[in-house]
């Protein structure tokens, strides 16, 4: 399975971002990708002041463009994320399209990114966004895939549930920043891959030093052994990762972690 992680530049021009995303998906397909992944908020600046204004409802222009591009090219598209409007609320939502352009899955970020690091990054998604309440997986001819958005990856229970459902890979449209990116980005992708003996795939926007929120970039693919298969720098690029899915069973057989869990013991219990 070949996956293209599209580390694209995100501008203030929504229509231009959507057009650029579709052009990148075309290049990914020409490069033999089965699946193209876009970054978190691929058509909207990552800014609380923009989310509602750039948002769209069901069947909005970004969703239509991604669906049509998926169908035209016969490729899976994990549509990064975009601000989704519903019932007066705004969600950080990833739409996934199958090879015929059909909507396969929709994940609303469940853990909102509310952090305040001393001397570093502060962001409060909950000022404008509402959380989702579903664990999201979707089926392909390669097997089941798990999907979460950026900060969601920090919550190990979510990835574990996906893998216990049978996911082969955890796909993460994301946008870490210059405080937490250097400290935790690679660590988290490797950690979730090693814990669950699955592939992890992170796709971030290219870095724009002039933006209010500066993306770390460094889109990444990690295998079930925790080996980094490929990793971008901060610039705009398309990263192609070839996933040898047989590695999952091989690693799980040689180092039986999931099957050796003592679920009879894992309760907080009394001191
Ligand atoms: N957009 C996000 O959720 C950012 C998450 C992040 O940077 C982190 O450190 O976690």
Please list, in sequence order, all residues whose beta carbon lies within 8 angstroms of the beta carbon of residue 219, skipping any fewer than 6 positions away: 5, 7, 39, 202, 203, 204, 231, 232, 237, 239
Alpha carbon 233 to chain centroid, angstroms: 17
CA distances from 241 to 36, 165, 181, 246 (A): 10, 23, 21, 15
Average pLDDT of the chain? 98
**Tens of pLDDT along 90-131?**
999 999 999 999 999 999 999 999 999 999 999 999 999 999
Domains of the chain by residue range: 2-254
**Tens of pLDDT along 7-63?**
999 999 999 999 999 999 999 999 999 999 999 999 999 999 999 999 999 999 999
pTM flag (> 0.80) = yes
Task: Give the residue, out of 92, 111, 113, with the most ligand 1 atoms within 8 A of its beta carbon, to mutate for a pocket test.
Answer: 113
Instruction: Find the mean pLDDT for residues 250-267.
Output: 96
Catalytic site residue 157? no
Query: How many CA atoms within 13 Å lie on the side-chain side of 196?
Result: 29
Predicted pLDDT of residue 152: 98
Q: What does the H/E/C string look like for the chain? A: CEEEEEECCCCCCHHHHHHHHHHHHHHHHHCCCCEEECCCCCCCCCCCCCCCCCCECCCCHHHHHHHHHHHHHCCEEECCCEEEEECCEEEEEEEEECCCCCEEEEEECCCCCEEECCCCCEEEHHHCCECCCCCEEEEECCEEEEECCHHHHHCHHHHHHHHHHCEEEEEEECCCECCHHHHHHHHHHHHHHHHHCCEEEEECCCCCCCCCCCECCCCEEECCCCCEEEECCCCCEEEEEECCCHHHHHHHHHCCCCCCCCCCCCCCCCC
Predicted pLDDT of residue 77: 98
Atom of ligand 1 nearest to the CA of 113: 3
Predicted pLDDT of residue 224: 98
Q: Is the CB of 111 under 6 A from ligand 1?
A: no
Predicted pLDDT of residue 262: 97
Domain 2-254 matching CATH 3.60.110.10: the answer reads yes
- Assess contact for 151 and 109: CB atoms under 8 A: yes
Instruction: Find the mean pLDDT for residues 142-160.
Output: 98
Quick one: 270 exposed, middle or buried, by C-beta within 10 A (0-12, 13-18, 19+)? exposed
Task: Give the residue, out of 81, 175, 216, with the most ligand 1 atoms within 8 A of its beta carbon, to mutate for a pocket test.
Answer: 175
Q: Which residues pair with residue 92 across a beta bridge? A: 83
Catalytic site residue 148? no
């Amino acid at each position: 399975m070949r996956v293209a992680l599209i580390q694209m530049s995100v501008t203030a021009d929504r229509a231009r971002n959507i057009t650029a995303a579709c052009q990148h998906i075309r290049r990914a397909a020409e490069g033999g990708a089965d699946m193209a992944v876009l970054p978190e908020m691929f058509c909207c600046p990552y800014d609380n002041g923009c989310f509602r204004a750039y948002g769209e409802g069901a069947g909005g222009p970004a969703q239509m463009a991604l669906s049509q591009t998926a169908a035209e090219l016969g490729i899976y598209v994990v549509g990064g994320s975009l601000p989704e409007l519903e019932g007066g609320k705004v969600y950080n939502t990833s739409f996934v399209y199958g090879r015929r352009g059909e909507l396969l899955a929709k994940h609303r970020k469940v853990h909102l990114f509310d952090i305040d690091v001393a001397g570093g990054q502060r962001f409060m998604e909950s000022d404008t966004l509402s959380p989702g309440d579903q664990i999201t997986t979707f089926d392909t001819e390669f097997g089941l895939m798990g999907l979460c958005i950026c900060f969601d990856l920090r919550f190990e229970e979510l990835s574990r549930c996906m893998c216990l459902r049978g996911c082969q890979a955890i796909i993460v449209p994301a946008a870490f920043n210059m405080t937490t990116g250097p400290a935790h980005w690679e660590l988290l992708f490797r950690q979730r891959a090693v814990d669950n003996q699955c592939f992890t795939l992170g796709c971030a926007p290219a870095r724009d030093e002039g933006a209010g929120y500066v993306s770390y970039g460094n889109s990444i693919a990690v295998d079930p052994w925790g080996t980094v298969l490929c990793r971008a720098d901060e610039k705009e690029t398309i990263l192609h990762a070839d996933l040898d899915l047989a590695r999952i069973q091989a690693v799980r057989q040689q180092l039986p972690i999931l099957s050796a869990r003592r679920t009879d013991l894992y309760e907080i219990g009394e001191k």
